[in-house]
Amino acid sequence: MRFLNMNSSNAKALLCLIILVSSSLSNAVSRVGGGRVSSTSSGFELSVPFPFVQIGLLSADAVRASGPMAYFAEQGMRQQFIDVLEFESDFRDKSHHSRDDLRQEFISAGWVNLETSSCVAHFKKENGSVIAHVVSWGSGQGYILRGPYTADVSQAMDAILKSQQRVSAECLWK
């Protein structure tokens, strides 16, 4: 293989370097495989349960796990899904909040506080058609789960939340 007048081993080395550098610069939530989603930016990995097994890229910082069809009163039959996003994708303005400030802001906006540990802030909001969870451990690190409010989506989100693994157990609150 000739690549810009390089021999085969040099071209392969350059290609490996490009792949390593580009993956280390990526902040995206991505599909790992085997029903898992991870983020190198926020340092988490989540397991997405069956039947939400079709996981595809939604944007640069989000994936969508598609599930079975369901009947929605106003829209008829539609695909159920769960979007997994970086915390900062929707809440960049809150990335430098203290834990207490974040808690106060979310509760004031109608979110339910579901915190279960001294490090991880967890909030939930349902509005009849959408269910969302926000999980953070400070400094803009964390994720958002969002989808249509159905029993399947709600149960799958509960399973995803229980599967959470963080690369570091460090709390990053200011």
Alpha helix ranges (H) inside the chain: 8-25, 87-91, 99-108, 151-163
Residue 99 lies in a domain: yes
Residue 50 lies in a domain: yes
User: Do you know the residue count of the chain?
Assistant: 174
pLDDT of residue 28: 65
Q: Is 26 exposed, middle or buried (0-12, 13-18, 19+ CB in 10 A)?
A: middle
Residue 9 banded pLDDT, cuts 50, 70, 90: low
Residue 11 lies in a domain: no
How far is residue 80 from each of residues 50, 122, 154, 155, measured CA to CA in Å? 12, 23, 11, 12
Question: pLDDT tens digits for 113-135?
Answer: 998 788 999 999 999 889 999 99
Question: pLDDT tens digits for 65-117?
Answer: 999 998 877 778 889 999 999 999 899 888 888 899 999 999 999 999 998 78
Strands 44-47 and 165-166 turn out to be antiparallel
Residue 72 lies in a domain: yes
Residue 132 lies in a domain: yes
47: domain range? 27-166
Residue 4 lies in a domain: no
Task: Provide the number of structural domains found in the chain.
Answer: 1
pLDDT of residue 8: 55
Question: Which of 17-21, 32-36, 60-64 is the most confident on average?
Answer: 60-64
Residue 17 lies in a domain: no
- For residues 101 and 130, what is the distance between their CA atoms, to the nearest angstrom? 25
For residue 132, what is the domain's CATH number? 3.40.1000
Residue 15 lies in a domain: no
Q: Is 138 exposed, middle or buried (0-12, 13-18, 19+ CB in 10 A)?
A: buried
